[in-house]
Structure 1
Amino acid sequence: MNLQQSTRRHFFSRCSIGLGSIALSTLINKDNAKAEAPNPFLPNKPHFLPKAKNVIYMFMGGGPSQFELFDWKPELAKRHGENIPDEFVKGKRFAFMNSSFKQNNKLLGPIKKFNQHGQSGMWFSHNIPNIAKIADEITMFRTCKTNLFNHAPAKLFMNTGTGIFGRPSMGSWITYGIGSESQSLPGFVVLHSGPRGPRGGAANWASGFLPTTYQGVPLRGSGDPILNLANPVGVNRKRQRDSIDVINKLNLKRLLATGDPEINTRIASYEMAYRMQSSAPELMDISRESKATLDLYGVKPGKPSFANNCLLARRLVQRGTRFVQLYHTNWDSHGGPGETLTKDFDKVTHDVDQASAALIKDLKAHGMLEDTLVIWGGEFGRTPMSEARQTKGRNHHIDAFTMWMAGGGIKPGNIVGTTDDFGFGAIDQECHVHDLHATVLHLLGLDHKQLTFRFQGRDFRLTDVHGNVIQNALL
């Protein structure tokens, strides 16, 4: 082997910056195929024909109580105050009830009143009358199950398929798999509402070991969507463009010298930020929406809210964003201050009920529901037993809880799974988080067993070595 012979890398590193300019123009040209020009934002082909193109995930942080929302249990109401039979709880662990709080086996009947709705006859509490009106648009998964019962690791598990930090989130896996339809807005966007952000923080929308291009981008619900996105005073658009061009050329020269894919991410991010200087303000300007649309969601212009974020989610999907995640808190109904099943639960349901239903109706009116998958749910549910703090509340529960989905190939007016008389566990068709993930990927045309990324000598995937598509939830 001739050690003096120039390698391809050495050749490019010694070339003039002019050659780098040619490569850069190819890199950021959206008309070139992804294989020829590795622009990570370009759409990519799925494994098979998809039923959905986009996802809007309404994440209810804290763990909504299915017993006060979706899963009416007359036997639980009848046996309120009695001890739950030992066979249900023997060997089970809970977040707090084994240590700090007494009377942990006392059954707590539903606090809210329920009625059946739609041709499907689904049960909904009086707290969510608007969601009840879309009963015939959704599939309700009553037997969801997860592995972890504390908030931060459970949120990570629901988002990444594991409670371990450093793994890619579902939105990252999806944009890695099929890219984005938008070249002027991020492919994966995160919006927040409620009194605090989700426990676990940015790890819930991180890209983990995937290139950082695929991580979620948090947008603010009002004002500047991203701080410092606008040009500083005295810097016009041409000057900004010239600066980015120089930076990109230097980054490209380093990319050719090292082959580090994160430099490609950096180049693409500069270009995206530049385009977002015009696209993001247009996105946030909801003044062109009709009064009827604003009233449908319950939006108050200029006021950040879950309703405002739901409308922005529709606008993002319209503009080609692949995955939008809306976080709303606080659903943690332990019974303590700020977490009661009465006043505080009523407030959080009021915050989300109208806008959640409005999103489905609005997507349908725009002809977008059929290829937009909408997901609603939290990281776990609540126990059928009371957790007696200042008031009666419910503890975290991982064995059975409720989520719902609509659009994007989901069967309307459908119920998957049945829980026992107390709502403690599934008596048929358990829907584990890995199964939910496999189903979401399937609807987007992705085989969860084939969507992999090699890291540290192993092929990783969102569902790890688990997961089955929930076939009876599909059209």
Structure 2
Amino acid sequence: MEDLKKVLTQLNRRDFLTKAGLGFGSIALSSILQAGTSPGARREEAGGAESAVAPFVRGPHFSPKAKRIIYLFQSGGPSQLETFDYKPALVKWHGREIPDSIKSTQRNSGMVAGQSTFPLVKSIYDFKQYGQSGAWVSELLPYTAGIVDDLCIVKSVFTEAINHEPAVMFVQTGSQQSGRPSMGSWLSYGLGSDNQNLPHFMVLISKGVSGDQPLSTAAWANGFLASHHQGVQLRAGKDPVLYLQNPYGVHKEDRRRALDRIKELNEHQFTLWGDPEIQSKISQYEMAYKMQTSVPDAVNTSDEPDYIYKMYGEDARRPGTFAANCLLARRMAERDVKFIQLYHMGWDQHGDLPKNIAKQARDVDQASAALVKDLKQRGLLEDTLVVWGGEFGRTSFSQGKLTADNYGRDHHPGCFSMWMTGGGIKTGQVYGETDEFSYNVVKDGVHVHDFQATLLHLFGLDHEKLIFKHQGRRYRLTDVHGKVINGLIA
């Protein structure tokens, strides 16, 4: 025992792993999450800063309506004017200058600072009303139009950020600056996991046809929460999670013995130092070991029948596409992964919008609707919250030159549209209104912090009580803002 203590006090973790011959693969496993509320996780929260934060208690504050969420994030900012916010007044105003009394009510990005004119532009796409709610939906989204009675379309979301990365960070973490925990991390911290063999928070990324904006991994990071709360990204291909499989020549039994020995050493290290992150590492290694079997099973869609591929579209057979990721999201929901985050890039149409947004809509329309129908037919939609939307909207005036068949739209924080369903959402309704130019919210506004507060509420969490003390300050997802929007809740 004395020799062991001497080793532990003389070697840091990196030195030990290197000298043990486990190499970078084992170090990389530190990015893999735990599931459940293991004794180690409970000790972390009892011994860390969280213990000083009353009245937070791990677990829901009241009865939840949702058990899991699939967030279909449309990165780049879909134009509300070409999707859900029908504005016939723009037909009359098409080509005319936006009144300064309207334009001055919102910030405009630096990309239009050099424009001398700001002509309003109608959408070239037709809209029709669908369902009992009479929701207006663009011809670009025929599959979504077919499920409007299962949706709550929110036209009055607004944000404070006008550029992509700050806006994505704001929606995902509640702050425009990176470094805060993401929503998935907050849910993991507050509720733990319902699956012992897969991470509670999984991320899938697909790319559209144009205008790809880079995505920062900070959007699914754990911030100042313990590292086991961060998201795990699944990649297309034979290695969905990097460094998960054993190196050549290392058998499963060998890895099990190595992990047992590492756990023993880590537990001694924790006894000496009391660092809660050590307990996170123990649980991460255990989760990685379980994932060697559970991840291949979750991503193997070979047993899916042909009618499922017909429902989601042929792209679902191509790994890495949005349709394939939607199918994987359903499989993860069946396995009780709590937060399933899909990012689909390419919605940033500053120019040549009519052509590019049509391709982008084709990427996501059928699969998004299929996911909702698939969850519903399996009895999962009732307690699975599904969200579709981006980080901001687009301007009603044209960015750059307006021609008969071409125009672009700049970033617009003043209003944008998204839809939600399942998990306690009041469906079959259109919530909120914007003005005749889709420039400002005029009724039932939903700030990003309100959206976050409502999401947590559906999971049985009071956003004002879900807090974490860090560097002397009590933090929460909604910062010091946000209110639950009861009109969205069934």
Q: Tell whether the structures are fold-level matches, with TM greater than 0.5.
A: yes
User: 2:234 and 2:373 mapped to 1: Cα distance?
Assistant: 24
User: 1:460 and 1:346 mapped to 2: Cα distance?
Assistant: 41
- Alignment partner, residue 179 of structure 1: 192
- Give 4+ residue runs of structure 1 displaced > 4 Å after superposition: 28-40, 195-198
* Matching of residues 198-277 of structure 1 within 5 Å: 199-277=214-292
- Alignment partner, residue 410 of structure 2: 395
Asked if the contact 1:297/1:355 (under 8 Å) is kept, the reply is yes
Which of these residues, 59, 66, 89, is aligned with residue 103 of structure 2?
89
Which of these residues, 441, 463, 470, is aligned with residue 478 of structure 2?
463
- Alignment partner, residue 21 of structure 1: none
Give the deviation of 1:44 after TM superposition: 5.4
User: 1:86 and 1:261 mapped to 2: Cα distance?
Assistant: 56
Asked if the contact 1:62/1:151 (under 8 Å) is kept, the reply is yes
Give the deviation of 1:197 after TM superposition: 7.1
Asked if the contact 2:450/2:485 (under 8 Å) is kept, the reply is yes
| 2:182 is equivalent to residue 166 of structure 1 | no
User: 2:452 and 2:36 mapped to 1: Cα distance?
Assistant: 30
Deviations 1:356-413 (A, max 9, x none): 0000000001100000000000000001111015941000000111011000000111
- Alignment partner, residue 206 of structure 2: 193
Task: Determine what percentage of the aligned residue pairs are the same residue.
Answer: 47
- Alignment partner, residue 46 of structure 1: 60
For residues 305 and 32 of structure 1, do their structure 2 counterparts lie closer, same or farther at Cα, with a shift above 3 Å needed?
closer
Asked if the contact 2:95/2:119 (under 8 Å) is kept, the reply is yes
**How high is the TM-score relative to the length of structure 1?**
0.89
User: 1:268 and 1:419 mapped to 2: Cα distance?
Assistant: 48
For residues 88 and 252 of structure 1, do their structure 2 counterparts lie closer, same or farther at Cα, with a shift above 3 Å needed?
same
Which of these residues, 352, 359, 370, is aligned with residue 371 of structure 2?
359
- Alignment partner, residue 71 of structure 1: 85
Give the deviation of 1:100 after TM superposition: 3.2
For residues 141 and 255 of structure 1, do their structure 2 counterparts lie closer, same or farther at Cα, with a shift above 3 Å needed?
same
- Alignment partner, residue 161 of structure 2: 148
- Alignment partner, residue 331 of structure 1: 347
| 2:426 is equivalent to residue 426 of structure 1 | no
User: 2:295 and 2:45 mapped to 1: Cα distance?
Assistant: 20
Asked if the contact 1:102/1:388 (under 8 Å) is kept, the reply is no
Asked if the contact 1:52/1:373 (under 8 Å) is kept, the reply is yes
Q: What amino acid maps onto 2:179 in structure 1?
A: G
For residues 248 and 389 of structure 1, do their structure 2 counterparts lie closer, same or farther at Cα, with a shift above 3 Å needed?
farther
Give the deviation of 1:93 after TM superposition: 2.3
User: 1:100 and 1:31 mapped to 2: Cα distance?
Assistant: 55
Asked if the contact 2:319/2:325 (under 8 Å) is kept, the reply is no
Asked if the contact 1:169/1:208 (under 8 Å) is kept, the reply is yes
Give the deviation of 1:247 after TM superposition: 1.2
Q: What amino acid maps onto 1:377 in structure 2?
A: G
- Alignment partner, residue 371 of structure 1: 383
Asked if the contact 2:35/2:192 (under 8 Å) is kept, the reply is no
Deviations 1:186-215 (A, max 9, x none): 100000001597535101001100111111
Which of these residues, 142, 145, 150, is aligned with residue 137 of structure 1?
150
Q: What amino acid maps onto 1:334 in structure 2?
A: H
Give the deviation of 1:36 after TM superposition: 6.0
User: 1:200 and 1:323 mapped to 2: Cα distance?
Assistant: 18
Stretch moving more, 29-38 or 439-448: 29-38
Stretch moving more, 222-231 or 179-188: 222-231
Asked if the contact 1:155/1:199 (under 8 Å) is kept, the reply is no
Give the deviation of 1:276 after TM superposition: 0.4
Deviations 1:302-338 (A, max 9, x none): 4321000001111111112100000001000100xxx
Give the deviation of 1:90 after TM superposition: 2.0
Which of these residues, 96, 117, 121, is aligned with residue 108 of structure 1?
121
Asked if the contact 1:34/1:44 (under 8 Å) is kept, the reply is no
- Alignment partner, residue 452 of structure 2: 437
Asked if the contact 2:197/2:287 (under 8 Å) is kept, the reply is yes
For residues 446 and 296 of structure 1, do their structure 2 counterparts lie closer, same or farther at Cα, with a shift above 3 Å needed?
same
Asked if the contact 1:156/1:200 (under 8 Å) is kept, the reply is no
**How high is the TM-score relative to the length of structure 2?**
0.87
For residues 34 and 250 of structure 1, do their structure 2 counterparts lie closer, same or farther at Cα, with a shift above 3 Å needed?
closer
User: 2:168 and 2:424 mapped to 1: Cα distance?
Assistant: 25
For residues 239 and 197 of structure 1, do their structure 2 counterparts lie closer, same or farther at Cα, with a shift above 3 Å needed?
farther
Q: What amino acid maps onto 1:62 in structure 2?
A: G
Deviations 1:402-438 (A, max 9, x none): 0110000001111111111111011111100000000
Which of these residues, 342, 360, 364, is aligned with residue 354 of structure 2?
342
For residues 256 and 403 of structure 1, do their structure 2 counterparts lie closer, same or farther at Cα, with a shift above 3 Å needed?
same
For residues 334 and 322 of structure 1, do their structure 2 counterparts lie closer, same or farther at Cα, with a shift above 3 Å needed?
same
For residues 442 and 63 of structure 1, do their structure 2 counterparts lie closer, same or farther at Cα, with a shift above 3 Å needed?
same
Stretch moving more, 362-371 or 43-52: 43-52
Structure 1 unmatched ranges of 5 or more: 1-9, 15-27
User: 1:197 and 1:208 mapped to 2: Cα distance?
Assistant: 25
Stretch moving more, 355-364 or 219-228: 219-228
The DSSP-based 3-state class of the residue aligned with 1:294 is helix
Instruction: State the number of aligned residues.
Output: 444
Deviations 1:28-60 (A, max 9, x none): 9979778866699xx952110000000100000
Q: What amino acid maps onto 2:281 in structure 1?
A: R
User: 1:474 and 1:33 mapped to 2: Cα distance?
Assistant: 35
The DSSP-based 3-state class of the residue aligned with 2:364 is helix
For residues 29 and 253 of structure 1, do their structure 2 counterparts lie closer, same or farther at Cα, with a shift above 3 Å needed?
farther
- Alignment partner, residue 60 of structure 1: 74
Q: What amino acid maps onto 2:166 in structure 1?
A: P
Asked if the contact 1:111/1:341 (under 8 Å) is kept, the reply is no
